[in-house]
């Protein structure tokens, strides 16, 4: 798809995705103050899945997914939602939330690499420059937290693993051409992956039954209904509208919003390096999504 023909709908969804996902990261540390990572994810995944399927039903969309698609959906869901949800949350509580977002959003780099190596999607000079700028932004944002990474290597590993899992899961779905409405597909994915994560919560979770504080309940509800429900639907809609490598690069502004949100909520650093990284992100996104019209 020529970049100049990217639908306006994809650009609108990108703005929505950037805002709802970017402001989500500082909330992770609050969400797991009273419950484990596994319990938090089990609750929010279930709420989000039920909410999306309820919306799809109210809109008259069929909830059934053809049996031939379930194996593909299951594998993609494991990589994207299971690995992403667990690894990204652990990363966000082990290292500063903005830095965890940066690690997770190395996804565009992995996506571009996998798209070229597996799907044979051509990396043009313009797209290679966008990837390079995105990589530079990631490196700049990581510089202030090298000490945090050395003190919490699991946070570094978990953050990178979340980005790899997200890239693989997205590419599997894009390659398989599953023709299911985004709301229905996302709702079932969330509920499917909620099952093993709930089992994990029973084994690895709190082993205590109590009603969390209203603050925790409000954070659970927000994360489940806004970033997890609306954000995932927006993401899968973008994946269906643009090539995999461009879709990956389209998410590169999310850690910028996460860094700014982390600075506001938790007082995380936001200095010259971070602003330079933001400039690189804007340039990379512009190269990936906005190209001059062809000359006649």
- What is the residue extent of each domain of the chain? 3-289
How far, in Å, CA of 83 to CA of 193, rounded? Answer: 10
Distances (CA, A) of 140 to 1, 3, 146, 164: 31, 27, 11, 20
Residue 61 corresponds to which tokens in the numbers above?
Answer: 């969309």
How far, in Å, CA of 189 to CA of 56, rounded? Answer: 14
pTM of the model: 0.74
pLDDT at residue 1 greater than cutoff 80: no
Which residues, in sequence order, are CB contacts of 78 under 8 Å at separation 6+? Answer: 169, 193
| CB of 40 closer than 8 Å to CB of 31 | yes
Summarised one tens digit per residue, pLDDT across range 119-134 is 777 777 777 887 788 7
**pLDDT: is 56 or 152 the higher one?**
56
pLDDT at residue 294 greater than cutoff 50: no
- DSSP output for 81-143: IIIHHHHHHHHHHHS-HHHHHHHHTTHHHHHHHHIIIII-----HHHHHHHHHHHHHHHHHHG
Please give the distance of CA 58 from its chain centroid, rounded to a whole number. 26
End-to-end CA distance of the chain: 19
Please state the rounded mean pLDDT for residues 257-269: 75
How far, in Å, CA of 235 to CA of 231, rounded? Answer: 6
Residue 8 corresponds to which tokens in the numbers above?
Answer: 């306006």
At residue 269, the pLDDT reads: 66
Placement of tokens 């594998």 in the chain: 75
Q: Which of 75-84, 175-184, 267-276, 285-294 has the lowest mean pLDDT?
A: 285-294
Please state the rounded mean pLDDT for residues 144-161: 74
At residue 296, the pLDDT reads: 43
How far, in Å, CA of 204 to CA of 122, rounded? Answer: 43
Average pLDDT in the chain: 80
How far, in Å, CA of 203 to CA of 177, rounded? Answer: 36
At residue 257, the pLDDT reads: 80
Residue 101 corresponds to which tokens in the numbers above?
Answer: 């977002």
pLDDT band of residue 3 (cuts 50, 70, 90) is: very low
pLDDT band of residue 194 (cuts 50, 70, 90) is: very high
Which residues, in sequence order, are CB contacts of 280 under 8 Å at separation 6+? Answer: 133, 134, 136, 137, 140
């Amino acid at each position: 798809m020529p970049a100049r023909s990217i639908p306006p709908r994809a650009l609108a969804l990108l703005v929505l995705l950037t805002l709802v996902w970017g402001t989500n990261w500082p909330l992770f540390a609050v969400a797991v103050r009273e419950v484990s990572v596994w319990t938090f994810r089990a609750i929010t995944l279930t709420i989000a899945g039920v909410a999306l399927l309820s919306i799809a039903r109210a809109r008259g969309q069929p909830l059934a997914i053809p049996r031939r698609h379930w194996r593909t959906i299951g594998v993609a869901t494991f990589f994207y939602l299971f690995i992403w949800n667990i690894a990204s949350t652990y990363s966000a509580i082990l290292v500063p939330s903005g830095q965890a977002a940066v690690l997770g959003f190395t996804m565009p780099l992995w996506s571009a690499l996998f798209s070229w190596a597996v799907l044979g999607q051509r990396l043009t000079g313009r797209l290679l420059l966008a990837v390079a700028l995105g990589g530079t932004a990631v490196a700049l944002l990581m510089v202030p937290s090298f000490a945090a990474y050395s003190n919490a290597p699991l946070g570094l590993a978990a953050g990178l693993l979340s980005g790899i899992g997200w890239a693989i899961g997205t590419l599997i779905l894009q390659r398989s051409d599953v023709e299911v409405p985004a709301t229905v597909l996302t709702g079932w994915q969330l509920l499917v992956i909620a099952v093993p994560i709930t089992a994990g919560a029973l084994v690895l979770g709190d082993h205590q039954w109590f009603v969390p504080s209203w603050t925790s309940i409000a954070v659970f509800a927000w994360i489940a209904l806004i970033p997890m429900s609306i954000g995932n639907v927006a993401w899968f809609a973008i994946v269906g509208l643009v090539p995999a490598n461009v879709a990956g690069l389209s998410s590169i502004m999310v850690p910028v919003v996460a860094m700014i949100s982390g600075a506001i909520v938790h007082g995380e650093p936001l200095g010259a390096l971070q602003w330079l990284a933001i400039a690189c992100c804007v340039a990379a996104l512009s190269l990936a999504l906005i190209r001059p019209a062809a000359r006649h």
